[in-house]
Amino acid sequence: MSARVIIVVLGKQGAGKGTQCKRLAAHLAIPHVSTGDMLRAAVRDATPTGLEVSSILAAGQLVSDDLVNRLVRERFTADDARGGALLDGFPRTLAQAEALDEILGDDGVKICINLDVTNSLVTERLSSRRVCQECGNIYRDSDIEAISGTCSNCGGDVIQRDDDLPAAILQRLEVYERDTAPLLSFYEGRGLVVRVDGDQEPDAVTAQILALLAQRGVG
**Angle made by CA atoms 153, 41, 146, in degrees to the nearest 5:** 40
User: Which residues, 6 or more positions from 203, have their beta carbon under 8 angstroms from its beta carbon?
Assistant: none
> Active-site residue 178, yes or no?
no
CA distance 132 to 134: 5
Which residue of the set 75, 92, 125, 130 is catalytic? Answer: 92
CA distance 36 to 29: 21
Q: Does 163 bind ligand AMP (CB under 6 A)?
A: yes
Select 35 or 208, whichever has its Cβ closest to ligand AMP.
35
Select 13 or 20, whichever has its Cβ closest to ligand AMP.
13
CA distances from 86 to 90, 137, 157 (A): 10, 17, 26
Select 145 or 163, whichever has its Cβ closest to ligand AMP.
163
Residues 186-215: x where in contact with ligand AMP by CB under 6 A, - otherwise, as a string: ------------------------------
- Positions in the binding site for ligand AMP (CB under 6 A): 13, 35-36, 39, 56-57, 60-63, 68, 89-90, 92, 96, 163, 172
